[in-house]
C-alpha cells in the first residue's frame, strides 16, 4: 500500500516479540500487549506470515501476488450456493452484497 516505513516498523516489532512469545496465534487488547487467552502457541501461520512479511520488505513488488481482481461470476455461484433461501438463481447484486472483503 506504499507504506514501506510502516511495514518495516511492524516487522521489526514482530521480530522482537514473536519468538520470545513463542509465536502466538494472536494478541489481545488495542495495543496488542497481551497474548490472547485462547491463543495457541507455535502457530505455523504466525511464522509463515512473519517470514512472508520479511520477504516482501526485501521485494515489495511481490505483494501483488497476494491479491487479484475478483471473479464475480465465481463469487456469485459460491454465495448463491451457500444462501439459505434455496433459490435456484441469485442476482449479481445480491452476490456482491454478500462479499465481506
Q: How many CB atoms lie within 10 A of CB 91?
A: 11
Whole-structure pTM value = 0.58
Q: Is the CB of residue 7 less than 8 Å from the CB of residue 53? A: yes
Q: Is the CB of residue 50 less than 8 Å from the CB of residue 68? A: no
Q: Which three cell numbers mark 29?
A: 487488547
pLDDT, tens only, 2-50: 788 998 999 999 999 999 999 898 888 877 778 888 888 989 989 999 9
Instruction: Decide which of 86 and 22 is more confident.
Output: 22
Amino acid at each position: 500500500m506504499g507504506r514501506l516505513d510502516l511495514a518495516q516498523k511492524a516487522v521489526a516489532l514482530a521480530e522482537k516479540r514473536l519468538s520470545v512469545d513463542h509465536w502466538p496465534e494472536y494478541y489481545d487488547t488495542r495495543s496488542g500487549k497481551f497474548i490472547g487467552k485462547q491463543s495457541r502457541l507455535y502457530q505455523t501461520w504466525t511464522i509463515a506470515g512473519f517470514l512472508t512479511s520479511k520477504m516482501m520488505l526485501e521485494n515489495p513488488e511481490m505483494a501483488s501476488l497476494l491479491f487479484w481482481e475478483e471473479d464475480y461470476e465465481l463469487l456469485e455461484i459460491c454465495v448463491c450456493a451457500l444462501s439459505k433461501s434455496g433459490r435456484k438463481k441469485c442476482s449479481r447484486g445480491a452476490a456482491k452484497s454478500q462479499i465481506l472483503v
